[in-house]
Structure 1
């Protein structure tokens, strides 16, 4: 056995031993990584905020350059666009904290307070329907009541405790405020200095990476950034529009708990295609206890709204920028859900879009035999 073979065997054994040690100590290793990442929480959150706000910031910057600040320096234009963007962000945050969250908590508390009345009314209606159709045994609806009460109570307590920490300025609340404050500062820094940071990143990686590796990494970086930014900004804007339309429609139709249900529809709308339907079914479970007629009316309304969203809102807000066919969207959601739960559902689509784009471009680059 020559030296080269011996060295290869030793390297393979070393890799296997290291992999085995990692697998056997996976939990403490992940805890250590989590503790390390926690130190840089504001930095990472600032990066995420800047990543999400980059597209609206660039849009405001382009608008200012074309209209109000034509011929002015790029640095001035970017500074003003960041000020405008964060002013709008602050106004939105104040509105959410001042109106939306208190209204949400009030709706949840009112629902919990009247849950027994709603439960009795619905059970009575189900019993009458069973009797009308000649069924010997009625359907016991107690499981639905317990699920709705438990879920709503949990959500109300979580929001109330979170607000309590901040309002009462406890140690935990001060820590949350401080982390949020530093995250905003980092996000402003990233947005203001993005051109310089990108230049520095390119210079660093092009210097230390082999040329071919750098070119492939740069290509993957561009596709990933474009896909993720288009997806997240599009989904957030779409969710806000859908939530607003749902709120207005519920008020017009006189359906109960418009704030609570509109917020639920907006949150579930972050999951493409199937999200609003999931939110609609959960809302139906709540409404059917309160007013079955309005619950049926709501389902009809949400189906119509979903058609408007699918054919009008989604193409204009998100369009084909993500570039993933419907069948692969569903597959990405299923795989993401199985691997990482709720986070996987949200992250699965952009990751699937990146993989799909890479494979599609690679296949199309090779001529058919």
Structure 2
């Protein structure tokens, strides 16, 4: 037995022992990975925020460098400050418009629930009479809603006992978000140096093949996520704006609130606009079933325009993922990670789709595909 064979046998034995240990302790290993991921949650969130803000930051930085000849560190700091202030200002403006209207709508709904129920009952009676079918009685539904609204006051004592726990969770979430934003600022400010350090470490400890594979994955990740995030944001803004303008023209209630909901839910591919539309129909049907029907027809037409004209130009062609895989990625991502999975499932699937496609084409070109 020569030296090469002894080394291969030793490697095989070591690999087998490690594999057996992993299989026997898989639950503990997964728990440790989950704990580590949770421990570094501010870093992951900060990296996502930095990635989203990278393009606006670079645009502002290059603009300032071409017009104001200051030090690079000053230009970077000013660019980050401008991008973050504009983003927070926009979020505050949206909340200032939506939250008061939402509170007023809920109060009006609670005060006029009987009127809304009568309106809906009359509309259903007209439909059942025209179709010559049995009458649909919603009195039990309205009574249930009235009981639920009345029970809110009775539960104040129970809710008060949980205020400390809820406050603790809120404070923990706020601290995590603040740390994430601070980390995102550091990542944006020092990303050039950080990438250089990662490259140096990789070249010292990893073989060239691993570095090549990593670079290919990173390039695909950067391309897909950049196209997807920018496309989804543009598509959501356009859809929300068109919905708001259309609702104003049709003189429908809750135009700002429903349009904001439609724009936010449009960030979820395919299913998002329908979720926002369902919320809009629910809000309008208690005011006027006719207005709810008008809104539903308008949204269906708007969805056709958006799906055939807007989405293909902003998102569809950019990520290059067939519709079947988009829907499958949404379902699997939503099942595994909830709303975050629905948002991240499509770009992750598009990245895998692109990497596998490149590998298949390379194998076919090199003649290494299995027959």
Same-fold call, TM > 0.5?
yes
1:134 alignment partner in structure 2: 132
Identify if the C-alpha distance between structure 1 residues 308 and 285 changes in structure 2 by more than 3 Å, giving closer, same or farther.
same
> Is the Cα–Cα contact under 8 Å of residues 112 and 149 in structure 1 kept in the other structure?
no
State whether structure 2 residue 230 is matched by structure 1 residue 233.
Answer: yes
Q: Residues 141, 360 of structure 1: CA spacing in aligned structure 2 closer, same or farther, 3 A cutoff? A: farther
1:78 aligns with 2:80: no
Task: Name the counterpart of 2:317.
Answer: 320
In structure 2, the CA distance between the partners of 1:145 and 1:43, relative to structure 1 (3 Å rule), is farther
Unaligned runs of 5+ in 1: none
Task: Note if contact 1:115-1:145 (Cα within 8 Å) is conserved in structure 2.
Answer: no
In 1, Cα distance between equivalents of 2:219 and 2:11: 38
Would you say 1:276 and 2:280 are equivalent positions? Answer: no
Equivalence map 1:149-168=2 (5 Å)? none
Q: Return closer, same or farther for 1:144/1:174 CA change in 2, 3 Å cut-off.
A: same
Q: 2:90 aligns with which of 89, 92, 95?
A: 92
Q: Please report how far the alpha carbon of residue 257 of structure 1 lies from its aligned counterpart in structure 2 after TM superposition.
A: 2.1
The number of residue pairs the alignment matches comes to 350
The separation in 1 between residues aligned to 2:357 and 2:148, in whole angstroms, is 46
**2:301 aligns to what?**
304
2:341 is the alignment partner of 1:344: yes
Deviation of the 1:239 alpha carbon: 1.9
1:193 to 2:190 alignment:
yes
Superposed CA deviations along residues 203-245 of structure 1, whole A, max 9, x for unmatched, are: 1122111111111111111211221232123313322332233
Matched, 1:125 2:123: yes
Q: Which residue of 1 aligns with 2:204?
A: 207
Mapped contact 1:271–1:345 kept (Cα < 8 A): yes
TM-score (norm: length of structure 1): 0.79
Contact 1:333 1:348 survives alignment (8 Å): yes
Which residue, out of 16, 19, 22, partners 1:15? 19
Q: 1:88 to 1:34 in 2, by over 3 A?
A: same
Which structure has the greater CA radius of gyration?
Answer: 2
The whole-number CA distance in structure 2 between the counterparts of 1:107 and 1:137 is 30
Match of 1:103 in 2: 101
Q: TM-score, normalised by structure 2?
A: 0.79
Equivalent residues of 1:280, 1:299 under 8 A apart: yes
Residues 108, 260 of structure 1: 8 Å contact kept: no
Deviations 1:174-206 (Å, cap 9, x if unpaired)? 544443333222211111111111111111122
User: How far is 1:143 from its partner?
Assistant: 6.0
Alpha carbons of 1:343 and 1:180: their partners in 2 closer, same or farther (altered >3 Å)?
closer
User: Which blocks of at least 5 consecutive residues in structure 2 are unaligned?
Assistant: none
SS of residue in 1 equivalent to 2:286: helix
Which residue of structure 2 aligns with residue 360 of structure 1? Answer: 357
Shift of 1:49: 1.0
> Alignment partner of 1:321: what SS?
helix
Conservation of the 8 A alpha-carbon contact between 1:55 and 1:233: no
Which moved further from structure 2: 265-274 or 54-63? 54-63
Higher mean displacement: 105-114 or 264-273: 105-114
Are 2:254 and 1:257 equivalent residues in the alignment? yes
Q: Secondary structure at the match of 1:271?
A: coil
Deviation digits for residues 322-366 of structure 1, max 9, x if unmatched?
222333222322333344443322221101100111122223333
Give distance in 1, aligned partners of 2:11 and 2:354. 39
Q: 1:331 aligns with which of 328, 351, 367?
A: 328
1:59: which partner in 2?
59
Q: Of 269, 286, 308, which aligns to 1:289?
A: 286
Offset of residue 273 of structure 1:
2.7
Residues 257-308 of structure 1: per-residue CA shift (max 9 Å, x gap): 2233223212220112332123213422332232121112112221232244
Q: Secondary structure at the match of 1:185?
A: helix
